[in-house]
Amino acid sequence: MSTSAGCCQGCLHYVFDYETTKTLVIPSIRLGCAFRFTQLLVVLYVVGYVCVVQKAYQETDSVISSVTTKVKGFALTNASDMDPRFWDVADYIIPPKGDHSFFVMTNMVVTPEQTQTRCPELPSPSTICADDCDCTEGHSDPRGNGIQSGLCVNYSSTVQTCQVFSWCPLEIDTELPQHALLAAAENFTVLIKNSVTYPKFNFHRRNILPHINSSYLKRCQFSRATDPDCPIFRLKDIVSEAGEEFQDMAVKGGILGIIIDWSCDLDWWAGKCYPKYSFHRLDNKNPVNNVAPGYNFRFAKYYKAPDGEETRTLIKAYGIRFDVIVFGTAGKFSIVPTIVNLGAALSFLSLVPVVSDWIMLTCTKKKDLYGKLKATYLSEDAEAEAMSMGTSYGTQ
Amino acid sequence: MSTSAGCCQGCLHYVFDYETTKTLVIPSIRLGCAFRFTQLLVVLYVVGYVCVVQKAYQETDSVISSVTTKVKGFALTNASDMDPRFWDVADYIIPPKGDHSFFVMTNMVVTPEQTQTRCPELPSPSTICADDCDCTEGHSDPRGNGIQSGLCVNYSSTVQTCQVFSWCPLEIDTELPQHALLAAAENFTVLIKNSVTYPKFNFHRRNILPHINSSYLKRCQFSRATDPDCPIFRLKDIVSEAGEEFQDMAVKGGILGIIIDWSCDLDWWAGKCYPKYSFHRLDNKNPVNNVAPGYNFRFAKYYKAPDGEETRTLIKAYGIRFDVIVFGTAGKFSIVPTIVNLGAALSFLSLVPVVSDWIMLTCTKKKDLYGKLKATYLSEDAEAEAMSMGTSYGTQ
Amino acid sequence: MSTSAGCCQGCLHYVFDYETTKTLVIPSIRLGCAFRFTQLLVVLYVVGYVCVVQKAYQETDSVISSVTTKVKGFALTNASDMDPRFWDVADYIIPPKGDHSFFVMTNMVVTPEQTQTRCPELPSPSTICADDCDCTEGHSDPRGNGIQSGLCVNYSSTVQTCQVFSWCPLEIDTELPQHALLAAAENFTVLIKNSVTYPKFNFHRRNILPHINSSYLKRCQFSRATDPDCPIFRLKDIVSEAGEEFQDMAVKGGILGIIIDWSCDLDWWAGKCYPKYSFHRLDNKNPVNNVAPGYNFRFAKYYKAPDGEETRTLIKAYGIRFDVIVFGTAGKFSIVPTIVNLGAALSFLSLVPVVSDWIMLTCTKKKDLYGKLKATYLSEDAEAEAMSMGTSYGTQ
């Protein structure tokens, strides 16, 4: 017999012969039950935890979302130092584009009629002066409000401060109204239109659900108890749901997250996939270490006087920024995660005999007997004997 | 022999002895082939589906992206009730900052010369009045346009409505031009600059591909057929690709998604990673249940009259908001997912003998013989006999 | 015995009997060590790589983030062709809302006093004309600046160009100051407030860390070496860390990414989870194929002259857009990925005996002996003999 023929025969052996393990059957109810119970535990774990609880058989995809917001409402301010003024959407929504983040101005410090000129600095330890020597021409203090002209001028009848070149008169933002000017903003409403896509599953959905009709949308207002599907929210309700008081928040402003959770199980009929709204304040309300608490920014409206000089009205706007945050993961049955997770879990089944054997060989009364019957110990003299035996079972 | 010595010997047994299963070789072509065929199926599944189709050997990362957009174009409006007016980018792009979401105004309702004063409400069932008794001073209807002064005044020669304090004259937004004022916007172009990063793989790429030169960029225009790599898009082409008619969409506005898919397989030479553009309308075109269809928002330009009185021009801007949505997942070979997925798939190989044995013991003619030879059944009287036997094979 | 009784007995066999594989113990140090060593390798891989390096036992979640930015600083411009002008936040931050992307204007081309009228086009090969025949009434060149009136007029004393209807005078944006007008912007500072949430783990954190107090925040400035936790950044430092020169970038503008990495291991005490800042230029600095390098956009301030005519100041704003990009993945121990990854890795343990058996049957001196003892070959004549044997071990 040549080597190649032997090799070929060896290969054929793998194809034409079937090799199965020899086993020892032990008629023991205890061992049998222990073995099956352990197997059952593994199977229960696979079915119960991996499949039902964790849905590990699903492929997942992240949401792609588009948001439009539209605020409605108007208010009248009647502060003692100002004329009555009417405010509508174009006045208090800055910037006007209604996308996923919109700002509603609720309070403000207005500094009208500013021009590029010289005026005395606001009094502070570093700006109060006795005469011109205390002020340096061209000096600009990062915490100041302009470039010093080098003169020391009267700020009031009692205080002298360095003169600066700046937009004058300077803004005095310490006089923030303690009751929000646009307190009526709590009754404004916002319509949030949100359409989402799960590109992997080619799934599209809007937050205006199919069963909602036009007449309902015209009069409804979101309420977790009675109208959980209405996409129109009263600002006060949003703030309340986040555990805050609107009038408190309106004074210094803040950031409020409108969180839309689109987590869906697309294995069931798709109608079950609907948005879940929740509301959280995103900035820190009363931290010990807060600089610039609340939320505000400055913007200006520019005018040109008839003589061509530019003037501006500076507005330090305090208000609530609403951030619509859309998140979600959709899951759908897919063969790969199923195989991976089932396979990984089933591989534990192959550890069960190891455990059962260990129990059999250590914890049973007849462990010595079982050990002897299960394992054949190969000793030196057995080798010689075996060498003279034939290879097949039949020739014994 | 002490207990500790026995324990030690037991441990050494695990290190110095090798325990292998005893097997029974059955020379059956049928069984052999069935066994190997089942194994082949598992291996084919691993290679074919998990590796080739699902790329389960890859680690993945999500894209981080930065987008700049710049619109070009101008138009002339010549409506019967307005002077001819020239519109350029600074006029119709609101807000001007060219980031991932830009708005092109295509239609509008302009209400010039509004001032804070009193004027009659727009006629509606709740605002039409016969005399002052029908109006309540200070009352503000959420669906109205201002705060009632308590007077009933002439709206027109035939209709009387309650007078309100508001920005007057009130906007009449029912007179929306049925042919978009800025219809010429369809020929505007937008240059989209997008750079992406996959931080896990330290991979950076721009949508202006390396082989594109400056002179090409100056004259090119995206076309799926002839110029698929040009980052300059004609607005009409974008809308057409999304299956919409620009002139229809321009009247009431809408939201259009420019979706850039950067899904890449980084295992192959990185040059294969390029952006794929697609376009979808994101809002609902003609739904049965739509409130405020299309897309619009109000903004105002503020002026100061020579006498110091503030006037504004209110613009209800209708137009198309283009949202550039960048998404993508890059995959690259990594050892952990490879091991996990291969391991899980291979663990099915250990289920193959279970299947084969079941076939052998139920479906073959010689199943009784195979069963007897494979399994040794331990009976009561065998135990006594075995107790007297030595442990090693050779002493039998 | 009826069939159903036999079937029932067969089922009970699985519950009440325990079937274990028969094994052959070979007292070989070499084989034993090889077997245990291979097992050790698999276990080491599981513990070392999968668990320690890749943290494959963790469930992960992506970050949800909210960002507020507030720029501080002022500057004086003193260009030769303009009056000295003072710039503060309301002037150079466009749009004013401080969200995750803010733009600081550093250079500009200002075209004041534009009105809707007629003026000569800027000279270019396609606009220079000799007489009215070279100009077409109503023609608008996409690369031009307005709609031609059909007249050929003097642009300067030497050049004649076609007259256009547009916002006149036209912007001449080739005269961009080569030294940025607002060069002082390098000393502006920005306070970045960032709060993050990992919704799956109900974990909230701010970038203003708990140990930072208010007085520190008032004077600190981010420095990687000395103040790595301070959330106040000097613009020049940001640009320097990104490897760019502020004054170069300020001329034509650019986009700079402030990347906050919140990758956290939540298994350890949560205090270890803190933001890591990095800075990268996101647009391409000096590419060979760049159109419109840098970053700029046009916006206008609208005025109304006392006679009611609208004028505007067009500003082509060059500057740096700072994009705050928050990303991160938090990991926390979870049973499912642990099981999946451990299971997958352990399934390799079941491949170890296959390898060891192959070594035993091919590489050892006594391979023939081992082969004979391990595998029982079933031959034709053995079958008949076996058929006459009893099923139980004891009846042999």
Cα separation of A65 and A61, whole Å? 13
Stretch among A328-332, A386-390, C110-114 having the lowest mean pLDDT: A386-390
Please provide the DSSP assignment of B236-292 as one string.
HHHHHHTT--HHHHHHH-EEEEEEEE--EETTS-GGG---EEEEEE-S-SS-TT-SS
Q: Which domains does chain C have, with CATH numbers?
A: 26-57+334-368 (no CATH), 62-113+177-331 (2.60.490.10), 122-169 (no CATH)
Partner residue facing B394 (CB), from A213, A341, A381: A381
Spatial distance between the Cα atoms of B146 and B153, rounded to a whole number of angstroms: 15
pLDDT for the residue B291: 61
State yes or no: A316 annotated in a binding site.
Answer: yes
> Residue B395 pLDDT > 50, yes or no?
no
C-alpha torsion angle, residues B159, B164, B170, B176 (rounded to 10): -60
> Residue A39: pLDDT band by 50, 70, 90 thresholds?
confident
Burial of residue B353 (CB within 10 Å: 0-12, 13-18, 19+) is: middle
Q: What tens digit of pLDDT does each residue of C293-304 get?
A: 789 999 999 998
| Per-residue pLDDT at B44 | 85
Is C333 annotated in a binding site? The answer is: no
| pLDDT tens digit sequence for B127-165 | 899 988 889 998 888 888 999 999 999 999 999 999 999
Q: Is A74 marked as a binding-site residue?
A: no
- The number of beta carbons lying within 10 Å of the beta carbon of residue C249 is 26
Cβ atoms within 10 Å, residue B10: 9
The shortest C-alpha distance from B217 to chain C (Å) reads 7
Strand-pair partners of C59: C332
Write down which chains contact chain B via at least 3 CB pairs under 8 A.
A, C
| pLDDT above 90 (res A236) | yes
Instruction: Judge whether residue A315 has pLDDT over 90.
Output: yes
Mean pLDDT over the full length of chain B: 83
- Best of A12, A18, A369 to disrupt the B interface by mutation (most B CBs within 10 Å)? A18
The answer to whether the Cβ–Cβ distance between B303 and C298 falls below 8 Å is no
- Nearest CA-CA distance, residue C81 and chain B, Å: 24
Quick one: which of A237, A199, A217, A193 has its CA closest to A67?
A193
Q: Closest CB to B378: pick one of A26, A206, A218.
A: A26
List of residues 6+ apart from C48 with CB closer than 8 A = none
Chain-chain contact of B392 with A369 (C-beta, under 8 angstroms): no
List subunits contacting chain C, requiring 3 or more Cβ pairs under 8 Å: A, B
Q: Tell me, what amino acid is at C132? A: D
Spatial strand order in the sheet of A375-377: A375-377, C23-26, B18-21
Q: Rounded to a whole number, what is the distance in Å from the CA of A199 to chain B's nearest CA? A: 10
pTM (two decimals): 0.85
CB contact under 8 A, B327 and A372: no
Q: What is the mean pLDDT of residues A6-25?
A: 72
CB contact under 8 A, A346 and B351: yes
Report whether C176 contacts C318 (CB < 8 A).
Answer: yes
ipTM for the complex shown: 0.81
The tokens 């919409």 sit on which residue? B244
pLDDT above 50: residue C173: yes
Q: 3-class DSSP state for residue A290?
A: coil
What's phi and psi for B337, nearest 5 deg? -60, -30
Cβ-defined contact of B344 to C348 (cutoff 8 Å)? no
Residues of A in contact with B280 (CB under 8 A): 197
Question: Which residues of chain B neighbour A381 with C-beta distances below 8 Å?
Answer: 394
Q: Which one-letter amino acid corresponds to residue A151?
A: L
Pairs from A215-220 (Cβ < 8 Å, separation ≥ 24): A217/B289, A217/B291, A218/B291
Instruction: Determine the Cα–Cα distance for residues B224 and B233; give it in Å rounded to an integer.
Output: 11
Closest alpha carbon within chain C to A353 = C20
Distances, alpha carbon A94 to alpha carbons A102, A106, A187, in Å: 7, 11, 18
Q: Check pLDDT > 90 for residue C256.
A: yes
pLDDT at C394 > cutoff 60: no
Q: Tens digit of pLDDT for each residue in C12-58?
A: 666 677 888 888 888 888 888 888 888 888 888 777 777 777 777 88
Whether the CB-CB separation of A235 and A247 falls below 8 Å is answered with no
What's C260's DSSP letter?
E
Closest CA to B275 of B238, B241, B231, B233: B231
**pLDDT (tens digit per residue) in C177-227:** 889 999 999 999 999 999 888 888 888 888 888 888 888 888 899 999 999
pLDDT score, position B1: 42
Residues of A in contact with B291 (CB under 8 A): 191, 208, 214, 217-218
Total Cβ atoms within 10 A of residue B335: 14
pLDDT (tens digit per residue) in B88-110: 999 999 888 888 999 999 999 99
Q: How confident is the model over C261-284, as a mean pLDDT?
A: 83
pLDDT tens for residues B161-214? 999 999 999 999 888 888 999 999 999 999 999 988 888 888 888 888 888 888
Average confidence score pLDDT of chain C: 83
CB contact under 8 A, A299 and C212: no
- The better pLDDT of the pair C68, C30 is held by C68
Mean pLDDT of A261-277: 81
Which tops the pLDDT comparison, A185 or A380? A185
C298 is in an annotated binding site: yes
> B346, C343: Cβ pair inside 8 Å?
no
- The answer to whether C376 contacts A22, with C-beta atoms less than 8 Å apart, is yes
Whether A304 has a binding-site annotation, put simply, is no
pLDDT at B380 over 90: no
Of A32, A323, A353, the CB nearest to C17: A32
Helix, strand or coil for residue A165? strand
The response to whether A298 counts as a known ligand-binding position is yes
- Which of B22, B283, B360 has the CB atom closest to A18's CB atom? B360
Q: Which residues in chain C are contacts of A283 at CB distance < 8 A?
A: 66, 68, 193, 195
Contacts of A15 in chain B (CB under 8 A): 29, 32-33, 36
CA distance A213 to chain C (A): 33
Digit-coded pLDDT (tens) for B14-37 = 667 788 888 888 888 888 888 888
pLDDT tens sequence across B41-56: 888 877 777 777 777 7
Determine the angle formed by the axes of helices C335-346 and C29-45, rounding to 10 degrees: 150
How close C160 comes to chain A (CA, Å)? Answer: 31
CB neighbour class for A85 (10 Å; exposed up to 12, middle 13-18, buried from 19): middle
Tell which wins on pLDDT, C275 or B345.
C275
pLDDT value, residue A381: 57
Q: How far apart are the first and last CA of chain A?
A: 25
Q: Which residue has the higher pLDDT, B295 or C396?
A: B295
